[in-house]
A = this chain, B = another copy of it.
Amino acid sequence: MATLSTPDARVENRLLAALPPDEYERLSPNLQPVSFSLGEVVYEFGGQLSFVYFPTTSIVSLLYTMENGTSAEMGLTGNDGVVGIALFMGGGTMPNRAVVQSAGGALRMSAKVLQDQFALGGAFQHRLLRYTQALITQISQTAVCNRLHTVEQQLCRWLLLSHDRVQADELVMTQELIGDMLGVRREGVTVAAGRLQDLGAIRYVRGHIKILDRAILEATACECYQVVKDEFDRLLGGDAVG
């Protein structure tokens, strides 16, 4: 059977790449490459999902928008995970939005195929659940971080998490949008980003952030980044079963 995905698509998503060869062969005919543009809405609050998406070069933010229009991010998914966990967790819909934060590609799989394959209970199920647990850690840490840390610390956390999920040293993202993600005003981002720029950690020009020195970002960030990173490494690392 001819696969619609590109030959090396597999290695572009770490969750899929970690599957044993036979399971991957079983899935690959059902993966279609798609392309996400910046700001595209992958799913809406309460919307029924028809597909799950395995990002390859894109990053997708999960965020919640309040009644008064303010919003905040709860977590973000890159090529280490999957967007649309409600489909295998059983709920069908999620009470939040998923928005493309960094343009790029993804592999999509239909709801039915996903659910059938999940029900087989093999490595695929195992990997999806482990990823979900890692995501729970990320969301939890976001909750704690929102309560206890400064905007500057959170900006560092966010930049590091994003940088880990993208191939380049440049992020395309306005301060306005980062404000929406972090649930702070645009001006707050400006001030915090200005300090990071003075420190030499980043350079910021009209929607293009260049990561110049990760070490400075890590030193300025709160412990939350490391907690999330460690847990992702532990749960999704190569040594894990299947």
Chain A residues with a Cβ under 8 A of chain B: 62, 64, 66-67, 70, 72, 74-75, 85-86, 88-91, 94-96, 119, 121, 126, 129-130, 132-137, 139-144, 146-148, 182-184, 223, 227, 230-231, 234-235
Contact = CB atoms under 8 A, between A and B. Distances in A.
A198 B163 CA distance: 49
Given A89-B129, A147-B72, A183-B144, A95 B139 contact: no
B129 A90 contact: yes
B148 A72 contact: yes
Contacts of A62: 140
A134 B93 CA distance: 11
B132 A72 contact: no
Given A119-B121, A121-B121, A133-B90, A66 B139 contact: no
A124 to B, nearest CB: 12
A185 to B, nearest CB: 12
Contacts of A132: 89, 132, 136
Given A85-B133, A139-B139, A143-B72, A90 B121 contact: no
A215 to B, nearest CB: 19
A139 B147 CA distance: 13
A114 to B, nearest CB: 13
A65 to B, nearest CB: 9
Given A89-B133, A90-B126, A223-B67, A143 B231 contact: no
A62 B66 CA distance: 24
Contacts of A135: 136
A70 B183 contact: no
A95 B227 contact: yes
16 contacts: A64-B141, A66-B144, A67-B223, A72-B148, A74-B140, A85-B133, A89-B130, A91-B231, A95-B137, A132-B132, A135-B136, A136-B139, A139-B143, A144-B146, A144-B183, A147-B182
